């Protein structure tokens, strides 16, 4: 039976208590992986335990010091010893799946939690209970919120631990997609981690619905699918990122930070545009661009990134015919084209724009990485390619390179 949080384990501080609850969840996850002898899940769970412990220990020491606890130095040494022991046992269990090793490790995890919470942290309780919670509240705040959707309880627990250790607040754990759209409508998160292979609903269609109804929410697809066609389809549908199973903690955090960084940039650029719209506009000397993508969300994201690069977006198109028409009308320095659009596709639009406007550079920004499409674009003089999902840095580098040719 797994460990269960009880109120008598409270140390008198909501932030530390929340950390302890999360550690219990991770330890239970580690034990389940040991019992089922699931190496990939165990590796991920142990990485989560190590990372979350480091975050928790640092937070706990800071709060204890602010509360006037006199044994913070001793607490720090105890934390270091626990992490060292954990690393040692991780190596041991990785080398041999013997029953004795598993039992040894399980005993260590349970004793660790008991010794850490009941024996050591309880000594802080009188200090924490008297401490004003205003500072602690600021320490515990998490700026961005995430919703996790996966039919695997193990995967939900693992992702919950990883996101929490990255200071992302997990506001919901859903085992299916049935109530997802309503959940988002009631309390929109910044990001949704969405398992593609849900038993009750098509993941791609659900992704399209989220992008259409809640364009401000970034969707990161979790998948074990290796087919490039699937990734292309999800990228074209508006996926902001991908987490490929089996994944590591570092991979998940890196992908989510990249997606959230893009969202922050989008919000910052929107604020700057709103403020600038209230002022008189002097004549601009910036480079100009036309954006063509059938996704309004993608056009908005590209517009924000280009604005941040001091490039004026003079027009936006939702299909290839509009792209050609607007390019001829505005004669921009660069056109950003998606390949798969209704009506005239991006490749046909590229050929026509390059024929009529040879000085205008064309950058293909697409989820379609088909070799034939790439070769066709090169034949018509494309200045560069960026595959979806993209980062602001990737777009910036491609734009700079295209305009310098």
Query: The sheet that has 311-317: what strands, in order across it?
Result: 311-317, 287-292, 334-337, 361-366, 384-387
Q: Assess whether 153 and 262 both reside in one domain.
A: yes
pLDDT at 186 over 80: yes
Q: Give per-residue pLDDT as tens, 98-122.
A: 555 667 777 777 777 777 777 788 8
Report if residue 2 sits inside a domain.
Answer: no
Among 33-42, 81-90, 165-174, 226-235, the minimum mean pLDDT is found in 33-42
Q: Assess whether 94 and 131 both reside in one domain.
A: yes
Site of tokens 């929107």: 270
Q: How far is CA 365 from the centre of its chain?
A: 21
Q: Give per-residue pLDDT as tens, 345-359.
A: 899 999 999 999 999
Kind and range of the H or E run holding 387: strand 384-387
pLDDT at 28 over 70: yes
Q: Give per-residue pLDDT as tens, 312-323.
A: 999 999 889 999
**CA–CA distances in Å: residue 68 to residues 13, 17, 77, 276:** 14, 18, 18, 48
What pLDDT band is residue 271 in, cutting at 50, 70 and 90? low
Kind and range of the H or E run holding 290: strand 287-292
Report if residue 369 sits inside a domain.
Answer: yes
387 or 95: which carries more pLDDT confidence? 387
Which of 140, 160, 175 represents a domain boundary (last residue)? Answer: 140
DSSP code for 343 = S
Q: What is the CATH number of the domain that holds 235?
A: 3.40.50.2300
Q: Assess whether 211 and 239 both reside in one domain.
A: yes
The percent of residues above 90 in pLDDT, for the chain, comes to 28
CA distance 117 to 109: 12
Report if residue 221 sits inside a domain.
Answer: yes
Report if residue 386 sits inside a domain.
Answer: yes
DSSP code for 281 = P
Report if residue 1 sits inside a domain.
Answer: no
Q: Assess whether 15 and 64 both reside in one domain.
A: yes
Are 363 and 398 a contacting pair, CB within 8 Å?
yes
Are 188 and 215 a contacting pair, CB within 8 Å?
no
Q: Assess whether 136 and 161 both reside in one domain.
A: no
**Domains contained in the chain, number:** 3
Are 365 and 391 a contacting pair, CB within 8 Å?
no
Looking at every residue in the chain, the average pLDDT score rounds to: 83
Are 5 and 22 a contacting pair, CB within 8 Å?
no
Are 67 and 124 a contacting pair, CB within 8 Å?
yes
DSSP code for 365 = E
Dig out the tokens for 105 from the structure: 């490790």
Report if residue 276 sits inside a domain.
Answer: no
Q: Assess whether 257 and 345 both reside in one domain.
A: no
Are 290 and 315 a contacting pair, CB within 8 Å?
yes
Q: Assess whether 130 and 198 both reside in one domain.
A: no
DSSP code for 123 = G
Range of the domain at 223: 144-266
What pLDDT band is residue 250 in, cutting at 50, 70 and 90? confident
- Omega prior to 323 cis, within 30 of 0: no
CA distance 336 to 311: 12
Q: Assess whether 320 and 212 both reside in one domain.
A: no
Kind and range of the H or E run holding 401: helix 392-404
3 or 230: which carries more pLDDT confidence? 230
Q: Assess whether 244 and 325 both reside in one domain.
A: no
Overall average pLDDT of the 362-369 stretch: 85
Which of 140, 174, 195 represents a domain boundary (last residue)? Answer: 140
* Those residues with Cβ within 8 angstroms of residue 197's Cβ, 6 or more apart along the chain or in another chain: 151, 203, 223, 224, 225
4 or 168: which carries more pLDDT confidence? 168
Q: Assess whether 131 and 195 both reside in one domain.
A: no
Residue 137 has a pLDDT of 44
Q: Assess whether 290 and 376 both reside in one domain.
A: yes
CA distance 233 to 339: 12
Q: Give per-residue pLDDT as tens, 188-200.
A: 999 999 998 888 8
Q: Assess whether 158 and 252 both reside in one domain.
A: yes
Overall average pLDDT of the 148-167 stretch: 84
**Top-confidence range, 131-145, 297-311, 338-352:** 338-352
- Omega prior to 246 cis, within 30 of 0: yes
Are 163 and 191 a contacting pair, CB within 8 Å?
no
Closest CA to 323 of 302, 306, 339, 312: 339
Overall average pLDDT of the 341-346 stretch: 86
Report if residue 275 sits inside a domain.
Answer: no
Kind and range of the H or E run holding 243: strand 241-244
Q: What is the value of pTM for the model shown?
A: 0.66
Sign of CA dihedral 64, 67, 73, 74: negative
Which of 88, 119, 140 represents a domain boundary (last residue)? Answer: 140
């Amino acid at each position: 039976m797994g460990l269960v949080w009880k109120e008598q384990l409270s140390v008198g501080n909501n932030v530390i208590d929340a950390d302890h609850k999360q550690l219990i969840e991770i330890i239970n996850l580690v034990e389940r992986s040991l019992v089922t002898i699931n190496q990939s899940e165990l590796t991920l769970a142990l990485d989560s335990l190590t990372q979350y412990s480091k975050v928790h220990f640092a937070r706990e020491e800071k709060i204890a010091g602010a509360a006037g606890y006199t044994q913070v130095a001793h607490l720090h040494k105890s934390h270091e010893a626990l992490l060292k022991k954990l690393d040692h046992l991780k190596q041991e269990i990785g080398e041999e799946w013997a029953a004795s090793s598993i039992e040894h490790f399980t005993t260590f995890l349970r004793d660790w939690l008991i010794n850490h919470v009941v024996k050591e942290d309880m000594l802080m309780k009188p200090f924490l209970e008297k401490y004003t919670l205003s500072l602690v509240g600021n320490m515990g705040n998490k700026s961005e919120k995430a919703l996790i959707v996966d039919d695997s309880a193990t995967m939900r627990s693992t992702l919950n631990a990883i996101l929490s250790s990255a200071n992302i607040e997990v506001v919901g754990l859903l085992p299916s997609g049935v109530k997802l759209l309503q959940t988002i409508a009631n309390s929109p998160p910044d990001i949704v981690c969405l398992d593609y292979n849900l038993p009750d609903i098509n993941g791609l269609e659900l992704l399209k619905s989220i992008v259409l109804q809640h364009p401000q929410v970034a969707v990161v697809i979790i998948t074990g699918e290796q087919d490039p066609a699937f990734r292309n389809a999800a990228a074209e549908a508006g996926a902001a990122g991908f987490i490929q199973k089996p994944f590591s903690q570092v991979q998940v955090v890196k992908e989510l930070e990249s997606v959230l960084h893009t969202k922050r940039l989008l919000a910052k650029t929107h604020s700057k545009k709103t403020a600038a719209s209230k002022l008189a506009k002097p004549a601009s000397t910036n480079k100009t661009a036309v954006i063509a993508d059938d996704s309004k969300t993608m056009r908005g994201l590209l517009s924000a990134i280009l604005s941040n690069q001091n490039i004026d977006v003079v027009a936006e198109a939702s299909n290839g015919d509009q792209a050609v028409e607007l390019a001829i009308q505005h004669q921009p320095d660069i056109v950003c084209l998606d390949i798969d659009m209704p009506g005239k596709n991006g490749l046909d639009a590229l050929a026509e724009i390059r024929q009529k406007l040879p000085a205008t550079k064309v950058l293909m920004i697409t989820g379609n990485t088909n070799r034939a499409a790439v070769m066709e674009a090169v034949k018509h003089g494309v200045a560069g390619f960026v595959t979806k999902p993209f980062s602001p840095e990737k777009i910036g580098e491609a734009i700079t390179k295209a305009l310098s040719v």
